[in-house]
Structure 1
Amino acid sequence: MNGDIIIDKEKILERWAEYIRELFKDDRKDHNIMKNNFAGPPIMKEEVETAIKKMKHGKATGSENISVGLIEVLEDFGIGKVTHLLNEIYDTGQIPTDLSKSIFIALPKKPGATECELHRTIILMVTSPKYC
């Protein structure tokens, strides 16, 4: 922008969207295309179980409200559903839209920061599938 302070809520959101797009711009060609010509074996339940056990507990859930603890409590059923979903992604190359969404949060580096560049931007991402 030209240094003016924006006070209109819609214009503030537009400015942040512009800043985030520029900050995380991806100039790679075909970066959204996931090829599904994998020649490996399917993902095993044991691999998923091991990965879930390594995940940190007590983390905030995403919009799906599914925590690591919830998947663990569901035991074999939960692990089976997650394994099925992961294998479907692996086989088709199609990542569900919800798993590719992120929430951006701007935290001021110093009190009173008014410019986008004077903020740290953190990204919250969904880490557990809701449609198992």
Structure 2
Amino acid sequence: MKMKAGKATGPGGVAVEMIEALEEYGVEKLTSLLNDTGEIPTDISRSVFIALPKKPGATECKLHRTISLMSRVTKILLRVVMIRIRSKIKPEIADEQYGFVEAKGTTNAIYTLRTLREQ
């Protein structure tokens, strides 16, 4: 997985280094835990929301940015789900689609339009 080591563990208390140390055994246990019940345990799905002020001394809600700290196991699960969804949706996306598609960002489309306009 593409997860950085040394980051906060989140509410679950499981660090990336712990998951990497388990290697294949950890993958098997996580897979069986999620596949047996078909539900995500509440300990894994719990997130902690923190409001950070955009400017020092901010007192209004609109002057704060909210972040969420979630379990590393949840992040791994969400990444697996995203990969599966992308593989199912990819054939349905038209060639003209830009943005949210790998190697076809909106900056590429803007560059193409500018080049066509200049010619």
TM-score (norm 2): 0.53
1:87 CA drift (Å): 2.0
Once the two structures are aligned, what percentage of the paired residues are identical? 61
* Greater RCO, CA 8 A, separation 6+: 1
**Matches of 2:31 and 2:6 in 1, distance apart?**
22
Q: Does the 8 A contact of 2:52 with 2:65 survive in 1?
A: yes
1:75 CA drift (Å): 2.0
**Matches of 1:80 and 1:67 in 2, distance apart?**
17
Q: Which runs of 5+ in 2 are unaligned?
A: 75-119
**Matches of 2:49 and 2:70 in 1, distance apart?**
9
Q: How many residues align?
A: 74
TM-score (norm 1): 0.48
Matched, 1:113 2:62: no
Larger radius of gyration: 2
| 1:68 alignment counterpart | 16
What's the RMSD between the two structures over aligned residues? 1.9
Q: Of Structure 1 and Structure 2, which has the larger fraction of its residues in helix? A: 2
Matched residue type, 2:32:
H
Matched residue type, 2:13:
N
